Chains A and B, each alone.
Chain A
């Protein structure tokens, strides 16, 4: 049908000559097929005659009727009808189509093998993935009461963007609600099952858990307002108290079975915070007593854990951009910066972002010891073709190390990337040996004060407006920043944000964990400044994807434009390394899950907590389970059953199976202990941390 219609449509625009030629050729062919026509011609004639009559009558009218609007309508109608038809067919036949056969879900398979719900499960969502809804707002947000501002369809961004931003930002001073606005986390499983319609986060895992018998009474989503600093979620919403009460309740009502906690991304450090909080005495703690975790928690299965922070957070806070944005900018320069529309998108985003204390929790922790300094980094020697190479080769630890030595040879030729330089200004800087780098004491900068010369474009006030040209240039002159000096930099460019947030988070390494100062809650979310609870039976898992290039350090430049650009720095997306180099569009990549580098996700489980260390005095068993990324085989698979990407890994069949097995009672040894594809063990070895 469609072909016929399309052919007709073509006919409409056929030029005259063409059709007359067509007629001639028809005439010729006519002679050969006269017999056929003998019957039909009379009928045709009569038809034609009537047609002619009609034509003469209607031609004038129709010439006017059949206007452009009619055409539009016709096209739209045509498209709609086809669409509906296809949709109908799709609905009718998806289940029966052979190519559509969905492989059996791990939940269904394990259920057949006799697995049943045993331990209650607590899910702790990460940053960004949880929904936020409005409880009280300004007049511009009328009618949005208890509607999602974050998550769902995000329609409000387009309808009233400024209003939306206003409601999502927090108070600049306190890091809590601005006056007159209450935006709260959506509670329950709906909080983070789907981030947007069709984009699952926890939904697949929940569905598989349900297959083996989980339901509301033994499955809980610990939703919290991910914009706040962790202790503030307790102060404002009693989120930690609620979580404690919920875990206790589930423990009791499920026959005194300990819970399995499954945190994701930032939820991992949120739950670290919780474990310290719950055992600390009130008022700042939950008063659960020293044995609370040992009594209530069977295992913590950290998915894509950001234990030691993510470099992405640096670029976010520093210039409100990441890999994706830098890439877009390279493709279409000027889109984001178009001032014609008065958009100033980035400035707005940055202003909002900087009120969210939680982003600071994701800054790299452990300084140069973990992340490397100007000349050294644990990942050096990482090859960016790694992912591809490895996919081809069989994997076991031996071969891995063998590979490594091979690669090490290969790299003698080239200078290894200096990942330790988290931010460097200019591509050369990122590659020069350290003695050639200029050094500048940032303390000097801090003394330089601010200038008031930027008020002309003050409507979008970010803290950059308060920086003088002079100091911005100085910053750029300093060339390279490591994980440690980075904090000086951030403190300088975003003094308010850092001051507020550093009352809640700390990013160092503890020398003496028994120092009473570590009883302060700001240390609780840093695994390098806290001891794990005294719970020798507990297990800690690090489950994360590998095999995807992950942002590790950035090449920056001063942005070219003048005063009115509030963000004076941006990623130099023109900086590309030669083939095989890890530098692309101004970003250096290492192995990871696209958001969290392996070192951050795996180090604590691989070394920091392995065995009985000072960070893990009771010798809690730790397991590393890596999942190598495999892109979806076809479009039908959606986001893939074997993905290793930060969020998509929640749909990874192998990961789901591991979680289900542990929830149904298995121990780490029973599911196969460590499963490692990356160089995490070797990298961890290189890190010189006193344990």
Chain B
């Protein structure tokens, strides 16, 4: 602007001035009027001049600055208001809208006089525990001891490939790749919140603290959930740490036994621990045969996938689950976008396939548990019945369910993977299957272009892929074979650590091997008659059980199989949506997997439970949060949200304060778990 002024010709300026002076006069009048009102602060002449320049300088940049300034100021003001607001204000608002909230269980039970008694150990599940970087490659500079997993996940967006590289494990050993050390976060912070504001254990911890728990009586057994269970001991000595910590807590709390609260995969991890701790060193912890009975009062399994989850199959087979399938249905092509060279799913698959722990959740027990081609324990289940159940008693429910079975066409849940909807519904005799195991895997030289994202599918070739699709239908038993075929390396690694069968003779010395320890169908529970095992899980949410697959159209560079999201059931009540058959469960774990062991497999004195440890099934019916203010709800039954379920927390606190299973009221069942368990023909 200054330059601009320089170039004025004298005549211009004079003109300008004369004009200006006119204006000035006008404005002066106004100005004087105004200033008479206000009070004179600045000499009017100066002000006018300034105004003129202002006008000319009121440029785009100024406007921008002004805008930014405005926004900043308002933001700060709001922030200030928010911070100055009393902490109880949100609660007050909530209560004003929804009516008084019930006391949190911790407060309520404290009023009843409950106090901290038994030390409590949390065993987090897969995915929920934080992982932090201890050593990394060049690209991860400055992330030392920062969370790679959990927290804000900021690094995923900033340097996705670097992140994937650091989160992956070695493809051969299933341990650290060279030069990378990612370790679990320790302490309660490991899994109290998964991401900011998304609680996992925090609510339970807060409620336990109300009755007097604190760090010395609570322990989060955080472990690296990517590793095979035995490898956590080999690499980090995690099992030894848990043993030492439990022993310490029991001694310092006057010999009171610990209450263990595993969640999700932590349930299997703790099964493994109980076998490990009593097994002789070097493979085991050398705690002696009565370690569990000396140190453990109760194991309160929350949402335990004792017999695995079908989700794990789709996760391993095609790196997708219901959520991703839905995303694909809504925005086709987004995830497969080649334009940005994203290949997101391939990267994810490459990463998850190095995580041995995912293989611990492949359905166990084969066809005996999960059903064969034409049979499954859940057959006759209809999601619509669940709504009626909420109101009715158990007997009428069962009757109704029976009625419905006769009416509706039974869904063949046993077929965990079927290629095409028609195949999923057809009778077994109508399906033509060709055995895939003999098929030759051709090396496809053409696809070197996508070699940078390595998944084992590239080794299979078109022949192998077609062979897989031609087998049409896979049950729980053959799914393991399928995975062994499509991902031989991964399964070779995995089968050294996990087993999915049913033991014929538990006395067989081969069952001393650690790979059987996390499979409840191939181990005996420890000899601890005073111990109690609870199975706490949510019901009333449709849960993935079986999948309809198709070959993906462009099988060169992509994962060759994907869930056929176009497949839906005929009516609204159907269990088939977006290519996924759903049954009752907690959104992740079907009732069968969570409840069967406590409902039948370990009930009474069985061969899996020789000392007759008492078992209890406690189900929590899902009811979604009434409104947004409630957050994730206090009566949720969803796999993770159940950790904020007041009823569940109350049960946990009561047991931690000394109650036994009978004191809680024994079993609490809403689903058909007992009926379904009956149908399973397992020698006990």
Contacts and interface: CB of A to CB of B under 8 A. Distances in A.
Contact of A55 (B4, B55, B66, B183): B55
Contact of B72 (A56, A76, A237): A76
B69 A187 contact: no
Nearest to B209: A135
Interface in A374-424: none
Contact of B69 (A73, A206, A241): A73
The interface centre, meaning the residue of B52, B145, B183 with most chain A CB atoms within 10 A of its CB, is B145
A55 B13 CA distance: 16
A11 B135 contact: no
28 contacts: A7-B2, A11-B1, A11-B2, A12-B53, A14-B49, A16-B46, A22-B5, A27-B10, A44-B4, A55-B55, A60-B30, A63-B27, A73-B65, A74-B66, A75-B69, A77-B66, A77-B67, A81-B64, A135-B215, A145-B209, A159-B83, A185-B215, A189-B145, A206-B145, A207-B145, A215-B181, A216-B183, A245-B247
Interface string B149-191: 0000000000000000000000000000000010110111100
Select the residue from A7, A8, A75, A159 with max chain B CB neighbours within 10 A. Answer: A8
A664 to B, nearest CB: 16
Interface of A: 5, 7-8, 11-16, 19, 22-23, 26-27, 29-30, 36-37, 40-41, 44-45, 48, 51-52, 54-56, 58-60, 62-63, 66, 70, 72-78, 80-81, 95, 135-136, 142-143, 145-146, 159, 182, 184-185, 187-190, 193, 206-207, 210-211, 213, 215-217, 237-238, 241-242, 245-246, 248-249, 252-253
A41 B9 contact: yes
A361 B66 CA distance: 58
Contact of A215 (B46, B62, B73, B183): B183
A216 B236 contact: yes
Interface string B59-83: 0011011111111110000000001
B511 interface: no
A248 B69 CA distance: 59
A106 to B, nearest CB: 15
Contacts of B69: 72-78, 80
- Please list the 5 inter-chain residue pairs (A to B) with the smallest Cβ-Cβ separation, ordered nearest first: A77-B69, A73-B69, A77-B68, A77-B65, A76-B69
A405 to B, nearest CB: 49
Question: Interface on chain B toward A: helix, strand, loop, or mixed SS?
Answer: helix
Contacts of A51: 56
A145 B188 CA distance: 13
B134 interface: yes
Contacts of B52: 55
A146 B247 CA distance: 25
A11 B53 contact: yes
B214 A135 contact: yes
Interface stretch (B237-245, B307-315, B386-394, B498-506): B237-245
A74 B214 contact: no
Contacts of B210: 136
Interface in B112-148: 134-135, 141, 144-145
Contacts of B6: 26, 29-30
A253 B237 contact: yes
B216 A56 contact: no
A19 B65 contact: no
Nearest to B74: A73
Contact of A23 (B13, B186, B192): B13
Contacts of A81: 64-65, 68
B70 A73 contact: yes
A70 B66 contact: yes
B144 to A, nearest CB: 6
B214 A184 contact: yes
Contacts of A211: 135
Contact of A44 (B1, B12, B30, B71): B12
Contacts of B66: 70, 73-74, 77
A241 B13 CA distance: 89
Given A26-B13, A30-B10, A77-B72, 10 more contacts: A14-B49, A23-B5, A26-B5, A27-B10, A48-B12, A63-B30, A66-B58, A77-B71, A145-B206, A217-B241
Contacts of A23: 5, 13
B23 interface: yes
Contact of A73 (B50, B73, B88, B187): B73
B39 interface: no
A622 to B, nearest CB: 32
B7 A40 contact: yes
A546 to B, nearest CB: 31
Nearest to A47: B4
B187 A187 contact: yes
A253 B55 contact: no
Given A77-B64, A237-B215, A45 B187 contact: no
A152 to B, nearest CB: 13
Interface in B624-662: none
Contacts of A193: 145
Contacts of B244: 245-246, 248-249
Contacts of B55: 54-55, 58-59, 62
Nearest to A7: B2
A29 B54 CA distance: 25
B64 A142 contact: no
B252 interface: yes
Contact of A188 (B187, B241, B247): B187
Contacts of B605: none
Contacts of B513: none
B216 A238 contact: yes
A441 to B, nearest CB: 47
Contact of A56 (B23, B87, B135, B236): B23
Nearest to B222: A216
Contacts of B245: 245
A126 B49 CA distance: 65
Given A8-B1, A77-B65, A77-B72, A210 B7 contact: no
Interface in B183-217: 183-184, 186-189, 192, 205-206, 209-210, 212, 214-216
Contacts of A182: 214
Given A81-B65, A242-B248, A48 B183 contact: no
A66 B87 CA distance: 39
B188 to A, nearest CB: 8
A645 to B, nearest CB: 24
Contact of A59 (B51, B72, B83, B181): B51
B427 interface: no
Given A11-B2, A145-B209, A245-B248, A188 B186 contact: yes
A2 to B, nearest CB: 11
B675 interface: no
B437 interface: no
A125 to B, nearest CB: 15
Nearest to A84: B68
A520 to B, nearest CB: 22
A16 B45 contact: yes
B57 interface: yes
Interface string B1-27: 110111111101100100100010001
A8 B134 CA distance: 52
A62 B67 contact: no
Nearest to A95: B141
Contacts of B241: 217, 249, 253
A136 B209 contact: yes
Contacts of B192: 146
A16 B7 CA distance: 19
A192 B30 CA distance: 66
Contacts of B10: 27, 30
A248 B240 CA distance: 11
Contacts of B73: 72-73, 76
A159 B188 CA distance: 27
Contacts of A70: 66
B77 to A, nearest CB: 11
A207 to B, nearest CB: 6
Contacts of A30: 6-10
